[in-house]
Structure 1
Amino acid sequence: MFSPTHEIAEKNINIIIVDDEREACSNLSHLLLTYVDTRICIKGTACNTTEAEAMIRAYQPDAVFLDIEMPGEDAFHFLDRLKPLHFEIIFVSAYDEYAVKAFRLNAIDYILKPIDIHELCNAVKKLEEKRHFRRIASEWPPQAPNKVKPNQITLRNHMQIEIVDFKDLLYIEANGNYSRVFFQSGNTARSIMMSHSIAEYEELLPDTLFYRIHKSYLVNCRYIRKILKEENPVILLDNKYRLPVGRRRYKDLLFYLKNNNFPDV
């Protein structure tokens, strides 16, 4: 049977921790309550998916901190069985090979063990932003979500919400676990900082239009105006931005542009 932990009434971010090692559950609980956010309320900890499922149904948490490799049933099978999900997911794992699969589930973050306090704080910050955006979205007119088409992306931060066509995205610049998205709005170029990694955008956006030219840059190839083969190759994007091309990606970029029918540059 699962064991609910101590609850403090004034805390309002309700979470559940799932890890097959009780010591790991206790350690994460301690870090969250001591170093991260005083509003966190740990509704309980579970050491297997059976306990976790009962706890989720009982407490309806805002988020679940979830280990991946557990006996009996791993996290991905567990989440697939629970769909549709009504909580956010933050994965906590000793293995990094599941990161892409995790983000395809729209996970808030993927934290590697041993847990780094800075990364844990960033994950909770992303969780808070997501909850904030959900509240904003709930106040929009009911028809607003239907306006987002398959070839559009919704960009949200704590100050703005933008619905942008893929064709109007210029490029995305990595900033640690965050990304700055540059886009056209009318005749003006704008940008917005997003709490998602560049790898997530690379998975999301169509590979017939967007190419990862560098570990830190994902570009919309329709805006490439020139490629300069200098000592360190660069592209000229929309005649405004000079962006570096990774040396190992240069030839692959030329091949990609030719095979996707982009004009010679």
Structure 2
Amino acid sequence: MIRTIIIDDEEMNVNNLQALLHQHCPEIEIIATAQSAQEARHLVKTFNPEVVFLDIEMPFENGFDFLRSLDNLEFEVVFVTAYDVYGIKAIKFSALDYLLKPINVKELKSAVQKIISSVGKKKQHTRLANLFSLLEDKHIDVRAKIALPSLKETYLVPIHEIVRCFSSNNYTTFFLTDGTEHLISKPLYEYDEMLTPYGFIRCHQSHLINKAHVTRILNLDSGYLVLNYSEQHIPIAKQRKAAVVAALK
């Protein structure tokens, strides 16, 4: 799923684009919407979207002004506007695509395919960069922390204090050694890639565990991992059992 924010000053336009994306583009996850540049700035910092569908003609501050106001543009931009005269300017801003209102479904699907390709390449580059960094450093910093962003604040959590992560739809809950829990609006696979080098094992589609907190394996059904944190039993997927056992050895 590709995390997306829609920015348009007219609620009807926001609702229309949401409906079209839900119906025709299941790869897109709409994590927030905004009806002003001021509101959008807060949402971008909070949710760190991968793509923004951005209206150009908005009161007080148009789409171009909004982009200029940001320190870092770490997301792709698809401009959405009723005015074709902005096309050249949009291209100068290196937008991924440009959609005219009323939105044509075929053009929307084409834009989403560009999004999928672009975001996929960025994630691959990030994974390779992380790999090369690990190969160069040779050692993992046990003091490393991970940023867990919530709606109101971001928690900086030492990785060794994470006992396990549990996935539910596109949300991940982090369980810590002190008993606290953090619900984060990101899917588990994003953290799987990030935490695997630190001794975490994906034992099940919904579970990522820190092997440092595993005390034993129960050979019931396809198996369970028992954690020293409240003696919890975490299921092992049948197709993953061999890899999990090998990783624990």
TM-score, reference length from structure 2: 0.51
* Alignment partners' CA distance in 2, 1:155 and 1:228: 31
Change (3 A) 1:100 1:203: farther
Change (3 A) 1:205 1:214: same
* Alignment partners' CA distance in 2, 1:192 and 1:230: 30
Runs of 4+ in 1 over 4 A off after TM superposition: 33-38, 55-59, 61-67, 94-106
1:28-67 alignment runs, 5 A limit: 30-32=16-18, 39-40=34-35, 42-44=54-56, 59-60=66-67, 64-66=76-78
Change (3 A) 1:151 1:239: closer
**How many corresponding residue pairs?**
163
* Residue of structure 2 in register with 1:219 after alignment: 209
Name the structure with the higher helix share. Answer: 2
Q: SS at the partner of 1:173?
A: strand
Q: Is the 8 A contact 2:171 2:183 kept in 1?
A: yes
1:205 to 180, 187, 195: 195
* Residue of structure 1 in register with 2:113 after alignment: 93
Tell me if 1:244 matches 2:235: yes
1:185-196 alignment runs, 5 A limit: 188-196=178-186
Q: Is the 8 A contact 2:143 2:158 kept in 1?
A: no
Listed as ranges, the gaps of 5+ residues in structure 2 are 1-5, 23-29, 37-53, 80-93, 96-110, 127-141
Q: Alpha-carbon deviation of 1:98?
A: 7.5
* Alignment partners' CA distance in 2, 1:102 and 1:252: 28
Change (3 A) 1:60 1:239: closer
* Alignment partners' CA distance in 1, 2:233 and 2:116: 32
Q: Is the 8 A contact 2:147 2:157 kept in 1?
A: yes
Tell me if 1:178 matches 2:171: yes
Q: SS at the partner of 2:151?
A: coil
Change (3 A) 1:14 1:164: same
* Alignment partners' CA distance in 1, 2:78 and 2:245: 41
Residue type of the alignment partner of 2:212:
R
Q: SS at the partner of 1:93?
A: helix
Q: SS at the partner of 1:230?
A: coil
Change (3 A) 1:38 1:226: closer
RMSD: 4.4
Residue type of the alignment partner of 1:151:
A
* Residue of structure 1 in register with 2:162 after alignment: 169
Change (3 A) 1:33 1:251: closer
TM-score, reference length from structure 1: 0.48
Listed as ranges, the gaps of 5+ residues in structure 1 are 1-12, 16-26, 46-54, 68-77, 80-90, 107-148, 259-265
* Residue of structure 1 in register with 2:88 after alignment: none
Identity %: 19
Residue type of the alignment partner of 1:203:
E
